[in-house]
Amino acid sequence: MKAKLMEAMQRFSKAMFIPVLILPIAGILIALGNLLTNPKLLETVPLMNNPVTTGFGSILAGSLVSILGNLGLIFCVGITVGLARKEKPVAGFTALLGYLVFVHAMNKFMELSGRLVEAESLQGTGQTLVLGVQILDMGVFLGIILGIVTAFIHNRWIDTEFKGAFQIYGGSRFVFILLIPTVVLLAGVLMYIWPFFQSGIHSLGTLIQRSGSFGIFLYGALERLLIPTGLHHLVYTPFLYTSLGGVAEVGGQIYEGARNIYYAEIANPGVTRLSESVIWDARGISKMFGLIGACLAMYHTAKPENKAKAKAVLLPAAFTSFIAGVTEPIEFSFMFVAPLLFAVHAVFSGLSMVVLNLLDVRAIGPNGMIDFLLYNLPLGIQKTGWPLYVLVGLLFFVIYYVVFRFLIVKFNFQTIGREEKGQEVRLYSKKDYQEKKKRNREEGQASKETSDVAGVIVRALGGAENIQTVTNCYTRLRLTLVHPEKVDETVLKNETGASGVIIRDQNVQVVYGLQVTNIRKAVDRYLGRAGQE
């Protein structure tokens, strides 16, 4: 039961990546639109103050904010596609149809039972407009529920075929036939029970928010601690896109979730100060500053003969974390060889968010310096207080450096550059891999092309017959294996450039960093599963 539960959570976490990774693009474009209409910028650069530039900025920000009002639909389709084992495009289209059926079915149920509220504003009534249809306000949970239900029906019956005159109703058509009564019945049931969930979610959100600094610390620490399991997305997603992260009225509309509120506020020129809910999205201190201090500590504590190697490995990893917020290559370099350092890192991550909240800082940098510059500078100091964010970051840079250096020396942790003779504890960069290819050619071995690397990966995972599913997230190749004990971690790290391998029951994650998408595609082609999970 534990293994099945973990596998289900892993699959759901992977599926959440589809909508979650797309939404920040909308946020960046909203920030760009806000920049093009920023009064201070227009005063400083008069050339920008023209109808074309400001008009484009207004259209860009105004049109993309509409995405925030349809997150239920986005999550419904995204999760269905992520959970579908085959024919993913068909699954996504079916999810869209099911979503439309559900919305109108619930509206009719509420109309017939006299539950529709007649008011100029639906704020505080527990009801809202979804695609112009009045139903219970389920927020992003509606998309999550329908995505799971649709994916289950799709996976269970997509291969169903009939003979004779009924064969036209097989496959995806049969899935939709089953989905219609399911979502209609679900709409009727949720009409009665969802108000209780609404009350529970509201109470939980209130409890967390009233927990003050402790709640913020727990959130920030857990988000890091769950990285080895791959379930950390399940911690921050509810806060970013549901009422757990706050509820606010912006420009006459109600928004739920820290990220949604933030996007709405930065696009609204009438907002002079961002609300405190954005603190749930202020996870960038450890990424942009803290781990850089940790890297410097590992470099300074490396053995003299290994300094050059440590620098070559840590410098690109630190740069990627600072610029793009990709931290796993650094974290995996000490996560298993020095778990205490990882625990300290999680504590500092939570504390940094507490400090930002105490100082009333509203700046964010969830994905590194690029996000920080795009989101905060155009808004100005009054709206975000971004200079204090930088000062707090520099403070934690020093704290990370001092504490990591002390602990590494005190406990003689085998971090980068401190490995014993004959033992390698390192990140494998692209340069390392290219040098290995050169050595292979010199020894008369065939050059390792991408497909060959995929073959090495598959063999290190126990062979094609041992691999049930293959997916990927932002930095990890995620697999379900029949016999996980067959995994050869040494080959994965030394010959394919993996910086970490995590095995939890039948779920295996191999960390490759930003090149993971190309690696996943190569593995799919090698297995003959291109286009499938």
Catalytic center residues:
473
State the alpha helices, DSSP H only, in 267-336. Answer: 285, 291-300, 307-324, 328-334
β-strands 476-481, 507-511 pairing: antiparallel
Token pair for residue 495? Answer: 């010959």
Tell me how crowded residue 238 is: count the other CB atoms within 10 A of its CB: 21
Give the per-residue SS3 of 206-258.
HHHHHCCHHHHHHHHHHHHHCHHHCCCHHHHHHHHHCHHHCEEEECCEEEECH
- What lies within 8 Å, CB to CB, of 453 at 6+ separation is 496, 519, 522
3-class state of residue 375 by DSSP: helix
Token pair for residue 304? Answer: 């003299």
For residue 190, CA distances in Å to 87, 142, 288 come to 29, 10, 43
Could you tell me how far CA 211 lies from the centroid of its own chain? Answer: 25
Distance CA 413, CA 394 (A): 25
Token pair for residue 193? Answer: 């029970």
Cα torsion 257, 261, 264, 270 to 10°: value is 160
CA neighbor of 121 nearest in space, from 105, 137, 103: 137
